[in-house]
Structure 1
Amino acid sequence: MKLAYLTEVAAIMAAHSQLFIEQTDEISSEAVGDYYVLSRNRFNRWMRDLNDLEHGLPISDPLHLVGHIVGRPATRAITEQILINEMISRIWTVLLLARDVNNGIDRIRPVARNIHLGHLAVRHKALGVVLADDRMSPGDLLAIDQLRKSCERWTDLLCCSIMGQYNLWEFAFDKDRGREFLRDRVDQAGLSHRSRSWVLILAGLRHSFQDTDGLSAPVHDDDRRLVRLMLNSFPEHAPEMTFWMGSRVREARQC
């Protein structure tokens, strides 16, 4: 599974958010535990890599750069991983908290918030290393800045209806922008998989995050397992969700 495909997974989860949020049964303790452990392992991996890069050292485990473009700074590759994964991680956090609110419980919030704060810390660290690394060319810096802005805007667009319905605006990158996205929506409801808006959004997302250049790199095993956990938390064999899943996303659910 390529890094770019994670954005499509994020969009599909957001478009079918009510299928997840309105489930009355609780997420299993095993799934919550796996979510925490995999996220913690990923956090530790990224922090080790960023600490190495911050001190001018090569990344200790070269497997973390499988698919890395030869000659490109490792800092750029790691930061691309972090920014793309933050998009799906933030949407998943919003879905988890919305489900707690919908069911009138406070079960997953502590874990979800803890993982969210960890991702904020690693994002801050990565952007700091990007600015300090003299191996980053002006072109590399521009590419990272453009990717960051794209991820932030798309996340706010995909999540705006959920954040509005469940008052989760604190998870927007830009609250004012998120509210503006929601106001611009005709029905101000969640994305419908049958709507023209959803078709255009999915097409726009695929155009913005093409599986070329750095985004063609394969995802790490932890990321792949997290995606599988997320997708498998939705109702099995939901026809409205299956309809939009391309082969690359279906593989992620089964791998």
Structure 2
Amino acid sequence: MHVVQLTELASVLAYHGPAMLLQRRPISPEAIAQYWSASRNRLDLWHQVMARFNRVKSTGDFYRMRCWWTDHMGVLEEILASEVLTRVVAAIGDGIDRRNGTDECSPITQAIHLSHLEARNRVQWAILDRRGCSVSDAVRLNRLRRVTERWIDVLVGSISAYDAELTRFGMDLTRTRSHATAARECSTTPSHETVAWLTRAAMTEGFQKHVAKQASLPAANQGVADSVMMMMRADLFDSIGTLKSLWMHRIESKVDQTDQMIAEFLRPDVNESTTVNAYEQLHATALAQWFR
């Protein structure tokens, strides 16, 4: 799997992330374990690549260092570009755990996020070191880094529109909050889905310009993508396999609440119903404020 496809998956996940937060259902332990295993496998491959750079650099042989850059340029691009998916998954995992009051998913997603940051920092140090790195390669990677950071803020901002605490997973806090505000305003318009499609298309085209056409670690990327797909529960899809919209999830949530309320009102002892007790409490509070 190519890293551009991972960014597309991140866009899909960010679009349906609010629905995952709305349902308040935990991610399956199998999906979390698979995500940990696949991500650690890819991180190990990245660290092996960077370890080769340190060994070559210690020799002081410029030709060998130049060969390292030529052979591993694609891996460095994947380290930078795939951070989009890592941050989106970390944001959704944190949001789900905080809404459910648990720590089942966020410790894993946060650990992978921090490990990815370490790998990215090592790439940036290699760029700054410049030994064996041509000017064109350094400029190419720096442009990819800037493109990645901007799209991270866009996708994390779209999730943060429904949970302001998640803005900390963006690169630039001000920019992420701005995108969150725009996403919040756009969520109630009929063009919301069209905007999401155009955003995904623009992001795909933007990344394709800055990465190699051939995938460097296709099997490792495929493993991560499969584990992320496992996180998307079956209730996020309709009967024909299409992902439901956020409005559909909201309607289903309201229907479930209505069914629960009707069932409680039909109980033999209506006074034992939690809904009735809550209604009476709110009613008493309103009357107390009105007649005080």
* CA RMSD, 1 decimal: 2.9
Partner AA of 1:78 in structure 2: V
State the TM-score, normalizing by the size of structure 1: 0.79
1:9 paired to 2:9:
yes
Deviation at 1:29, TM superposition (A): 2.2
Flag the structure with more relative contact order, 1 or 2, with Cα contacts below 8 A and sequence separation at least 6.
1
Decide which of 99, 102, 105 is 1:105's aligned counterpart: 102
Deviation at 1:95, TM superposition (A): 0.9
Deviation at 1:34, TM superposition (A): 2.0
The 2-side partners of 1:28 and 1:93 are apart by 15
- For residues 159-209 of structure 1, the C-alpha deviation after alignment (integer angstroms, 9 at most, x for no partner) is 113235321222111101111222344616499995331122122112202
The question of whether the paired residues in 2 share the 8 Å contact of 1:2 and 1:211 is answered with no
Q: Which residue in the other structure is 2:199 paired with?
A: 201
Unaligned runs of 5+ in 2: 58-66, 245-292
Q: Which residue in the other structure is 1:135 paired with?
A: 132
More helix per residue: 2
Structure 1 vs Structure 2: percent identity of aligned residues?
25
The 2-side partners of 1:144 and 1:161 are apart by 26
Deviation at 1:98, TM superposition (A): 1.0
1:123 paired to 2:128:
no
Q: Following superposition of structure 1 onto structure 2, how do residues 42-191 of structure 1 map, counting pairs within 5 Å?
A: 42-56=42-56, 73-166=70-163, 167-185=165-183, 187=185, 189=187
State the TM-score, normalizing by the size of structure 2: 0.70
Partner AA of 1:102 in structure 2: R
The question of whether the paired residues in 2 share the 8 Å contact of 1:161 and 1:189 is answered with no
Instruction: Determine which structure has more spread, i.e. the larger CA radius of gyration.
Output: 2
Change (3 A) 1:190 1:27: farther
Partner AA of 1:4 in structure 2: V
| Residue correspondences, number | 232
Q: Which is worse superposed, 153-162 or 129-138?
A: 129-138
Unaligned runs of 5+ in 1: 58-69, 245-255
1:238 paired to 2:237:
yes
SS of 1:56's partner is helix
The question of whether the paired residues in 2 share the 8 Å contact of 1:191 and 1:198 is answered with no
The 1-side partners of 2:210 and 2:144 are apart by 13
